Each structure stands twice: as C-alpha cells, then as structure tokens.
C-alpha cells in the first residue's frame, strides 16, 4: 500500500473529514465502544442500524484502508481473548482524532435533525 | 450436509480467486482478513440452515465485490497518477509526459496523413516526430513496467 502522507495531528481539524460516508460513519460508531475485528464490525453495523445497513467485506476493508491511512483508526496489538481467537484476525480501534471526527459528525447530524424537525412539513406529520 | 460442505468449500475457493481482481497492494494487506470474514459469513449462512442463505450471501458479495473492486482500482490509479511521493515525482512526471507526447504525436501523424498536404515537408516532420514520440513512449512504458514491478505501483494501468 502506498503510504499516504498524513497531515500532522495538530494541523488537522475534524471538520475537514466531514461529512463522512455512511459506511465510514457506521464503522466509527461500531468502534466507538472499543476495539473489534472486521467481522465483529460488520455484525455491529448490522445490529446498530437494525438491519438496514449491511456492509460487504470489500466495502468494509476499503473503508478501513482509508481510515487507517487518515489516522482515524489504528490496528490494535492487544487481543481481547487470545485463546478464543484466530490469530489471522486483526483488531482495530479508534484513535483520539477518530473519536473527535465521530463526535463532530454526530453533532453535525444532530443539528441537521433539529433543523429538519423544526420545519412545518415534519411537524405536521409528527402531530398527525 | 455433504452438499453444504461442498458449497462452502467451493464458495471459499471462488471468493479467494475473485480477490485477485483487487489491486495488489490492497490484496497483500487485506486478503487473509477478507477471506476470514467471508468464511464467517458463510458459517452464519449455514447455521441459518439453507442453501438459499448461501445464495443470498453470494448475491450480496458479488455486488459488493463489483463496486469495491472498481473503487479500489480507481484509487490505485489515482495514487499512481498523483505525484505525492517526492522521490519518484520526477520519474512519474516523465512517464506520464512521455505517454502523453507519444499519443499526441501518433494522433498528429494520422491527421497529417489524411489531411490534404500543403507543404511537402509536413509529412516528414510528423514522421520524425512520431518516431521520437514512439521512442519516448517506449521509454516511458519500460520505466512504468519496471516501477510497477519493483515499487508495486500500478503504472501499467495508465498505459491502457
């Protein structure tokens, strides 16, 4: 993999990565509670989206590749349960900067939802 | 049960082969993990109890592969064309420039050949230009093949 030159953490702001693509957002949410391997991420995304989002392995690892290059996630050396696990699996976790990007995107989406709820069209439906 | 085992074995083999369509660097990094994830998905489908579940998994997988292979190939090409790496920036520029000149000169020669000639020297000029372009293009192609071999960057894609 050609290493993409990462910007220094102090020069980066989370806003430059926003808006996130749905796949990336779901992956960051799945990693929000701790490290996980690819299949666990895939299952967490399906569960947390109540089955509406199903990531394929290609989409998942394409997104993981970009997130690793951008420094939003990193590979974890620790294994939660080495005895129960296959050593071919790699675990990933959010970096501190990745957490800030996730928080930024969550806030952006919350603001959007608030704006949408304040429109008369949505209020009308909610009242009915 | 035997049929399911056979379907699983075939599925793993097919999936592993299909991963060859990804760019080499992506493959080196993620092939094992992707195979592992696919195996887990197959295991889940079998636990759900039917060959229909495996078929559904395959449909989803093929769609996902189609999209993601196209995207990763595009990214590999973009990475190859963009001159981020300073050490190889000059060589990359030369390769791209040589290929562009080659194609322009070949196109120029064809146009000159089919247009009515106003000056006698025009044809000769374009022939010499085309020869120079071909030499430059050949050099560019040689560089790109060597680079793609040693640096695992997919310059070859630029040529097509």
For the segment B45-55, what is each residue's pLDDT rounded down to a tens digit? 888 777 788 88
Q: Which residue of B has its CA nearest to A86?
A: B36
A68-117 residue pLDDT tens: 999 999 998 776 665 556 666 899 999 999 999 999 999 999 999 999 99
Domain spans, chain B: 2-79, 85-159
Q: Which of B133, B147, B150 is nearest to B99 (CA)?
A: B133
**Highest mean pLDDT range out of A9-13, A91-95, B86-90, B94-98?**
A91-95
Partners of residue A74 on adjacent β-strands: A93
Q: Which of B25, B40, B68 sits opposite A59 (nearest CB)?
A: B68
Dihedral sign for Cα A62, A68, A74, A79, please: positive
- The residue ranking higher by pLDDT, B131 or B10, is B10
CA distances from A87 to A73, A76, A77, B33, B34 (A): 20, 13, 11, 10, 14
Closest-CA distance, B54 to chain A, in angstroms, reads: 14
A100: containing domain: 18-127
In a domain, A10, yes or no: no
Domain assignment present for A13:
no
Residue A4: inside a domain: no
DSSP B31-68: HHHHHHHHHHHHHHHHHHT-HHHHHHHHHHHHHHHHHH
CATH label of the domain that carries residue A104: 1.10.10.10
- Domains contained in chain A, number: 1
Enumerate the residues of chain A whose CB falls inside 8 A of the CB of residue B72.
Answer: 58, 62
Is residue A85 one of the residues assigned to a domain?
Answer: yes
Question: If you average pLDDT over residues B24-30, what whole number do you get?
Answer: 92
- C-beta atoms of A38 and B79 within 8 A: no
């Amino acid at each position: 993999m050609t290493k993409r030159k990462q910007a220094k953490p102090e020069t980066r702001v989370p806003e430059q990565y926003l808006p996130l693509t749905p796949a990336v957002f779901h992956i960051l949410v799945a990693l929000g509670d701790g490290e996980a391997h690819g299949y666990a991420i895939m299952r967490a995304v399906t569960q947390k989206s109540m089955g509406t989002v199903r990531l394929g392995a290609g989409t998942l690892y394409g997104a993981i590749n970009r997130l690793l290059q951008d420094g939003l996630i990193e590979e974890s050396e620790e294994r939660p349960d080495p005895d129960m696990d296959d050593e071919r699996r790699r675990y990933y976790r959010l970096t501190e900067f990745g957490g800030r990007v996730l928080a930024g995107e969550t806030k952006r989406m919350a603001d959007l939802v608030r704006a949408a709820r304040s429109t008369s069209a949505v209020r009308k439906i909610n009242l009915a | 049960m035997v049929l399911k085992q056979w379907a699983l074995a075939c599925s793993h083999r097919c999936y592993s082969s299909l991963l060859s369509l990804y760019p080499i660097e992506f493959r080196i990094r993620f092939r094992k993990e992707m195979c592992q994830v696919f195996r887990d998905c197959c295991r889940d489908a079998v636990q759900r109890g039917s060959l229909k579940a495996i078929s559904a998994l395959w449909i989803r997988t093929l769609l996902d592969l189609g999209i993601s292979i196209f995207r990763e190939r595009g990214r590999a090409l973009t990475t190859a064309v963009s001159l981020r790496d300073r050490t190889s920036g000059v060589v990359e520029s030369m390769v791209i420039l040589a290929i562009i000149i080659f194609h322009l000169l070949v196109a120029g020669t064809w146009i000159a050949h089919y247009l009515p000639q106003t000056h006698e020297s025009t044809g000769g000029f374009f022939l010499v230009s085309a020869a120079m372009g071909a030499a430059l293009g050949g050099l560019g192609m040689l560089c790109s093949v060597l680079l793609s071999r040693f640096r695992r960057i997919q310059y070859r894609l630029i040529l097509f």
